[in-house]
Chain A
Amino acid sequence: MSAPVIVPGVTGRRPSSLRPTSERAHRRRARAVGGPRKRRSVLLTIAMAVVVIYTLLPLVWLLINATKTQADLFSTFGLWFGGEFALFDNIGRVLAYGDGIFGRWLLNTLLYVVLGAGGATLLATLGGYAIAKFRFRGRTAAIAVVLGAVAIPGTALAVPTFLMFARIGITDTPLAVILPSLISPFGLYLMWVFASESIPDELIEAARVDGASELRIFRSVCLPLLGPGIVTVLLFTTVATWNNYFLPLIMLRNPDWYPLTIGLNAWNNQATTAGGDAIFDLVITGSLLAIIPLIALFLLLQRFWQSGLAAGSVKE
C-alpha cells in the first residue's frame, strides 16, 4: 500500500483563503498542550506506552538483529543480542556484496529523490501559486480534472503507464521512474492553500505597479514566503519517492538502475530461488541502512512536517 495522500476538495471544502484574517489569527493562536491546570494521567500514559512499544518494537528488532551473524540470527533470541557483535562486519559486507551494488542502489535512490521529489515540489509550487493567485481561463477545469483523476488509484495506473512507456521505449531507464514521480496532487493542494494564505495580493500588485515581470515577482517576492510550505511538500514527496516500490518494480529490469527498495527485495528473494545465496543478515543490515536517512530527516525537520500538515489539508 502506498502512502495515502491528502487531496484537495474531497470533502468539498475550499482552501481557507476566503476566511477573514481575524478568524484565522484566532485559530492560529496555539493552545498549549497540557496547560498548567491539567493533571497528568498515569493510566493514559501507560496506555500510550503500549502503543509506543508497538510502533518501536520492529525498529528495535531490526537494530538488534543487524548486529548478528547469520548463524546467530537462526539460533539466538530475536529480541536480544547474539554471541558476536557483527554490526560493523555486516555493514562492511552489505557495502561490498555484489561488487558494491548496494552503494549503486543508494545513489540511484538519491537520483530518483533529487529529480523526482525535487521536480514534483517545483511543479507543485508553480502550479499551486498559479491556482492561488491567478484567475485564468481553464483554471476551474484544471482543478476539476486533477481532483477527478485523484480518485483513480496510483497503482491502477502503473500497469498502463508501463505499457505506454514500453511503447515509447523508455522502460528500464531512470526516466521511467522519475517521470511519474513528478506529479504530486497532495503537493499541488498544499502549495495552493499555502500560497493563498501566505502571499498578500497587495504585495503582488505593488510589485506589478513597480513594473516587475511575473517571473521576477514569483522569484523575489513570493518564493521566500512559500519557504515552509515548500519544505513540507519536499519532505513528503521525498518519502514517497524514497519508499517507492511498485513503480520501479515494473519499470526496471536492470539491477544497475534499482533503487534500494527493489534491491533489498531482490536480495531477500535470493534465498528462495534455486541455487541462490541466502543473505538474510545482509537484508536486515541493508534495511537498517536504508531507513536511517529518512528517519534522520524527519527528526531534523520536525517543525516543518508538523506545522505543514496543520496548515494544509486538515484545516476546518
Chain B
Amino acid sequence: MTSTTRIRRAGAPRVAGLGFLAPFAIVFALVFLAPIAYALFLSLFADRLVGGVQFVGLDNFARILGDARFWSGVGNVVLFLLVQVPIMLFLSLLVALAIDSGRLHGAAFVRLSVFLPYAVPAVVATLMWGFMYGDRFGLVRSFNEILGTSIASPLAPDTVLAAIGNIVTWQFVGYNMLIFFAALRTVPTSLYEAAEIDGAGELRVITAIKLPAIRGALVIATIFSIIGSFQLFNEPSILRNLAPNAITSYFTPNIWAYELSFSGQQQGLAAAVAILMGILTAVIAYLVQLRGMRKEQR
C-alpha cells in the first residue's frame, strides 16, 4: 500500500481521521449496534401472565422454531426468493445487455423508463398495482367487462404471492439493470476489438466476455435481492387492506414479528423472530458470496 506509507511519512494526525469518522460511528452505535444488543437481550425474556417479565433463556427461540406460523412465513419468502429473484435479475440482465449492445433504437429512453419505478415509493407502487389488480375499479374488472371473461383478481390467496412478486419486480428491475449496465460499461474496449478480430458472434461475446466481466455485480445484486426477499414486509403489509383474506398475520416472518410486537405485545418472541431471520439471511448471503467468489477464482 504505497499511499499508506506516504501518509505515514508525512506524519498525518491520526486523531483527525478518528474525528472525521466519529459522527458516523456514534450514530451507527446508537441505531445499529444498540438495537441488536437490545434485541438479543429482549429475546431472553418473556412477559408471563403470572410472574410478569421473566428470564426464560432460549425458550422464545424454541417456541418460534416449533411454531408452524414461522415456517409458513419462511416458506413464503423462500418460494418468493426462488421464483421472483431469478425472473427479476434475468429481466434486468436482458435489458442491460440490450442497451449495452448498441443495437437499440432509443436506448437512453429505455434506460430511463425502466429505472423510473425505482423512484416510486413502495406504498404508491403497491397501491397502484393493488388497484389495478382489483375487480372493483381495476384493470381486471375493465378487461372482464370488455371481453366478457371472468378472470379472478390476482389478489386471491393462491395468487397473491405472485401478485406481490410482480410489484417487487416492477420496482427493482431498473435498479438492478443499472448496476449491470454500469458494470458492462467498465469492460475495456480492447476486449471487444479482439473478439471481433477473432470473428466471435454477439452471443459468444456475451457469454465469453460480458457475463464473466460483470460476475461481481451479479453476485452483489443476488445478495441484495436475497436480503430484500427475507425482509419482505411493505408490499404484503399494504396489500392486506385490499386483500385481507389472502394475506395472513404471519404471511412473512417480518409481518409476524410486527404483529407479535404491536398486536400481541410479545416483544421477546418478536425479537427472537428478528434475530432468527437475521441469522438465516446472513448465512444464505454468505453462501452465495462464497459460491460467487469460488467461480471468480476458477
Contacts and interface: CB of A to CB of B under 8 A. Distances in A.
Contacts of B217: 313-314, 316
A58 B20 contact: no
Contact of B179 (A17, A134, A284, A314): A314
Contact of B278 (A138, A156, A272): A156
A33 B231 contact: no
Contacts of B267: 159, 163
Contacts of B258: 159, 250
25 contacts: A1-B122, A1-B172, A11-B289, A11-B293, A13-B216, A17-B3, A31-B187, A31-B189, A33-B100, A54-B170, A58-B128, A59-B117, A126-B20, A139-B17, A152-B36, A153-B230, A156-B231, A159-B270, A160-B39, A160-B274, A183-B27, A243-B121, A250-B258, A295-B116, A306-B182
Contacts of A5: 224
B216 A52 contact: no
Contacts of A183: 24, 27-28, 31-32
B14 interface: yes
A4 B285 contact: no
B186 A1 contact: no
Given A38-B103, A40-B105, A127 B182 contact: no
Contacts of B110: 48, 51-52
Contact of A136 (B15, B102, B119): B15
A51 B91 contact: yes
A51 B229 CA distance: 23
A136 B282 contact: no
Interface stretch (B50-58, B64-72, B148-156, B234-242): B234-242
B210 to A, nearest CB: 12
Contacts of B281: 151-153, 156
Contacts of A291: 119-121, 124
Contacts of B186: 27, 310, 314-316
A295 B125 CA distance: 13
Contacts of A58: 117, 125, 128-129, 132, 170
A105 to B, nearest CB: 12
Contacts, number: 377
Nearest to A152: B278
Question: How extensive is the interface on chain B, given as a class?
Answer: 35 or more
The 4 closest A-B pairs by CB, nearest first: A134-B17, A34-B102, A4-B224, A130-B20
B7 A62 contact: no
Contacts of B39: 156-157, 159-160
B42 A163 contact: yes
Interface of A: 1-7, 10-13, 17-18, 26-27, 29-35, 38-42, 44-45, 47-48, 51-52, 54-56, 58-59, 61-62, 65, 73-74, 77-79, 122-124, 126-127, 129-131, 133-139, 142, 145-146, 149, 151-157, 159-164, 179-180, 182-183, 188, 201, 204-205, 208, 214, 218, 239, 242-243, 245-246, 249-250, 260-262, 264-265, 268-269, 271-272, 280, 283-284, 287, 290-291, 294-295, 297-299, 302, 305-306, 309-310, 313-316
A30 B186 CA distance: 8
Contacts of B173: 51, 55
A294 B138 CA distance: 25
A78 to B, nearest CB: 4
Interface string B275-289: 101100110011001
Interface in B192-224: 192, 213-214, 216-217, 219-221, 223-224
B20 A1 contact: no
Question: Majority SS of interface residues in chain B?
Answer: helix
B216 A153 contact: no
Interface in B92-122: 94-95, 98-107, 109-110, 112-122
B113 A290 contact: no
Nearest to B31: A180
Contacts of A56: 113, 116
A130 B18 contact: yes
Given A4-B224, A142-B21, A315-B186, A45 B106 contact: yes
Given A142-B25, A283-B127, A30 B38 contact: no
A11 B220 contact: yes
B232 interface: yes
Contact of A40 (B20, B95, B104): B104
B32 A135 contact: no
B174 interface: yes
Nearest to B132: A61
Given A2-B234, A34-B104, A139-B21, 9 more contacts: A1-B232, A6-B220, A11-B220, A29-B189, A32-B102, A51-B110, A61-B128, A155-B233, A159-B39
B224 A6 contact: yes
B261 interface: yes
A11 B219 CA distance: 7
* Listed residue (B21, B117, B267) with the most chain A CB atoms within 10 angstroms of its CB: B21
A133 B10 CA distance: 12
A160 B31 CA distance: 10
A38 B99 CA distance: 13
B60 interface: no
A101 B138 CA distance: 27
B1 interface: yes
A261 B170 contact: no
B246 to A, nearest CB: 14
A159 B118 CA distance: 25
* Listed residue (A4, A162, A188, A205) with the most chain B CB atoms within 10 angstroms of its CB: A4
